[in-house]
């Protein structure tokens, strides 16, 4: 009984509870104010209709994806009194001029310190124009260049990633940069935190960025102050305030670790015990990451510092953080084959870099496309690209979870299976549990490991990152992991799809209408 009371109090006084109450009160207040005009109902109703019509016309003419337009046009037309107003309050991607100015200045600063590496493009223009075009797009619109002299190490599980991360953290001499969507208190975080506190004592510059929404249920309130008291510099990305605002839509979904500018990590793995299967959350948790060492780490260093300075409203010289490799190290790195290109996707620049990187890979594929993703919520362009590739004879295989973390997202994911399978795409569900890795492997020549889910939030609303690779040794390891994971999967056939009841099919179809909100 004591445990139940304690748990109830914890929920009642949790920050999320306060925020939810605040949001509901604001919605009730808005509705109450609007209804108070009922004495002037005809005038009020007419103005509301005009506002909703104006908003619908505006949405239809905006340069956004048709599916995102549809998901707002329907409720606005169904609820004309409140629909237009709520769209203006919560659906806009509003950023102040000052914020855009700061971000623009930091991007300019990044471009000044990042190399162009034109020699790589010149060679590829003659040898592989498809690769050159993809690299050029990422460099020009994702703002980060290609690199040679960079080793890659594919890490197929959370357990292996964090064993390697802790090993590298212990070697840190100058700085440690960590940026994660979720940091959760537990065995894993305690182990990392012990290393970070020791490094602070050794005068290592330790900095952490975590997302406020991502950590709302996993860290205590004002945890950044606790870390600052330990000597760990901390920024909280986009803190949630109890005010209805579209600003809450943009989250920092990146997972980046940089040690001394020498090695860097990214991938799908956050810091939490479920990622190393310390406890079972949604069955067995399958994830992956990539570690890079060498010249390409500089992009991750700049990526982190740009966001850090934006959040802190600071301007610092990035160049002192660039690692100077010795002659022996350079000679060793020069033996690393292939090209590595870290990239960054921002929802503030109007360029959907993550989606376009995926589309470029799909449309250029000649033999095979192997994908792992926790969410498969596709817009028309992505769906057309995948089905067209399969119809053209490309071996397209996609692994998704069998045990979901969000039931409604899982149902929407399954709503695409019929069209994909009917076009020749092979769909698999990871039987032991939940697969959270976000990987692309194309023709065994190209690969991407990053943070970008195949859903609307990752592709259009979140800050994301990844590593694009061409002819690197790790691609063989990615293929081995993919087919090893297939052995633990159940292939979905057309009978599985057509055998669903009409109620289930209808439910999935309705949920799919609202996919851009998921």
To the query of whether residue 260 is one of the catalytic residues in this protein, the response is yes
Catalytic residue, candidates 253, 286, 410, 411: 253
To the query of whether residue 443 is one of the catalytic residues in this protein, the response is yes
At 332 the pLDDT is 85
Considering Cα of 111, then 347, then 216, then 181, what sign does the dihedral take? Answer: negative
In Å, what is the CA distance from 211 to each residue of 119, 217, 299, 355? 38, 11, 21, 22
At 6 the pLDDT is 40
Cα–Cα dist 173/261, whole Å:
10
In Å, what is the CA distance from 90 to each residue of 18, 32, 183, 270? 19, 18, 27, 27
At 389 the pLDDT is 97
Residue spans of beta strands (DSSP E) within 403-444: 426-430, 433-435, 439-442
Domain boundary assignment for the chain? 2-90, 97-338, 353-517
Catalytic residue, candidates 65, 438, 455, 477: 438
Cα–Cα dist 51/58, whole Å:
10
Catalytic residue, candidates 212, 260, 345, 481: 260
- Whether domain 353-517 has CATH 3.30.870.10: yes
The angle at the Cα of 462, spanning 461 to 464, to the nearest 5 degrees, equals 140
Closest alpha carbon to 346 in 235, 237, 208, 217? 237
Catalytic residue, candidates 211, 252, 345, 443: 443
Catalytic residue, candidates 262, 436, 462, 481: 436
To the query of whether residue 436 is one of the catalytic residues in this protein, the response is yes
Classify 97-338 by CATH class. Answer: alpha beta
Q: Is 375 in a helix, a strand, or coil?
A: coil
Average pLDDT of each block of 10 consecutive residues along the chain (518 residues)? Answer: 40 57 67 63 69 74 67 72 67 60 73 89 89 94 92 97 97 98 96 98 98 91 95 92 61 96 97 94 95 96 94 90 88 87 87 94 97 92 95 97 89 89 96 97 97 90 94 96 97 80 69 65
Catalytic residue, candidates 65, 151, 224, 255: 255
At 298 the pLDDT is 97
To the query of whether residue 477 is one of the catalytic residues in this protein, the response is no
Q: Are strands 339-345 and 464-470 parallel, antiparallel or unpaired?
A: antiparallel
Q: Decide: 403 and 434 in contact? Cβ < 8 Å.
A: yes
Q: Decide: 130 and 362 in contact? Cβ < 8 Å.
A: no
In this chain, the answer to whether the domains covering 97-338 and 353-517 adopt an identical fold is yes
The angle at the Cα of 404, spanning 461 to 281, to the nearest 5 degrees, equals 105
């Amino acid at each position: 009984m004591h445990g139940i009371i304690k748990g109830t109090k914890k929920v009642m006084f949790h920050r999320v509870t306060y925020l939810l109450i605040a949001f509901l009160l604001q919605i009730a207040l808005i509705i109450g104010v609007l209804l108070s005009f009922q004495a002037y109902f005809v005038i009020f109703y007419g103005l509301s209709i005009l506002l909703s019509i104006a908003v619908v016309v505006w949405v239809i003419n905006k340069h956004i994806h048709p599916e995102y337009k549809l998901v707002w046009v329907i409720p606005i037309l169904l609820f004309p009194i409140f629909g237009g107003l709520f769209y203006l309050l919560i659906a806009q991607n509003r950023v102040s001029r000052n914020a855009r100015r700061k971000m623009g200045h930091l991007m300019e600063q990044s471009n000044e310190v990042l190399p162009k590496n034109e020699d790589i493009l010149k060679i590829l223009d003659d040898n592989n124009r498809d690769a050159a075009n993809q690299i050029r797009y990422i460099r020009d619109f994702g703002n980060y260049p290609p690199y040679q002299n960079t080793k890659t190490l594919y890490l197929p599980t959370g357990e292996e990633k964090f064993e390697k991360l802790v090993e590298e953290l212990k070697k840190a001499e100058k700085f440690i940069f960590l940026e994660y969507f979720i940091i959760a208190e537990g065995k894993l975080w305690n182990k990392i935190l012990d290393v970070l506190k020791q490094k602070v004592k050794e005068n290592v510059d330790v900095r952490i960025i975590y997302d406020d929404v991502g950590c709302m249920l996993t860290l205590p309130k004002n945890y950044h102050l606790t870390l600052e008291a330990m000597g760990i510099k901390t920024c909280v990305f986009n803190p949630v305030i109890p005010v209805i605002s579209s600003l809450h839509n943009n989250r920092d979904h990146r997972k980046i670790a940089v040690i001394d500018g020498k090695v860097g990590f990214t991938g799908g793995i956050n810091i939490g015990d479920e990622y190393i299967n310390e406890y079972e959350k949604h069955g067995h948790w399958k994830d992956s990451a990539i570690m890079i060492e060498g010249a390409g780490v500089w992009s991750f260093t700049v990526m982190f510092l740009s966001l850090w300075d934006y959040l802190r409203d600071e301007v610092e010289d990035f160049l002192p953080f660039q690692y100077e490799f010795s002659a022996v190290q350079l000679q060793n790195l020069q033996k690393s084959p292939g090209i590595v290109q870290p990239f960054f996707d921002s929802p503030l620049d109007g360029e959907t870099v993550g989606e376009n990187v995926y589309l470029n890979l799909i449309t250029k594929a000649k033999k095979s496309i192997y994908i792992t993703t926790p969410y498969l919520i596709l817009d028309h362009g992505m769906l057309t690209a995948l089905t067209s590739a399969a119809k053209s004879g490309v071996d397209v295989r996609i692994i998704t979870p069998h045990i979901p973390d969000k039931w409604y997202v899982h149902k929407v994911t399954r709503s695409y299976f019929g069209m994909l399978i009917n076009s020749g795409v092979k769909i698999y569900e990871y039987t032991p549990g939940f697969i959270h890795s976000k990987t692309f492997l194309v023709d065994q020549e190209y690969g991407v490991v990053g943070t970008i889910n195949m859903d609307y939030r990752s592709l259009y609303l979140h800050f994301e990152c990844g590593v694009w690779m061409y002819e690197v040794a790790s691609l063989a390891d990615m293929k081995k992991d993919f087919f090893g994971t297939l052995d633990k999967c159940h292939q979905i056939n057309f009978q599985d799809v057509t055998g669903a009841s009409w109620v289930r099919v209808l439910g999935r179809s309705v949920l799919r209408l609202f996919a851009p909100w998921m």
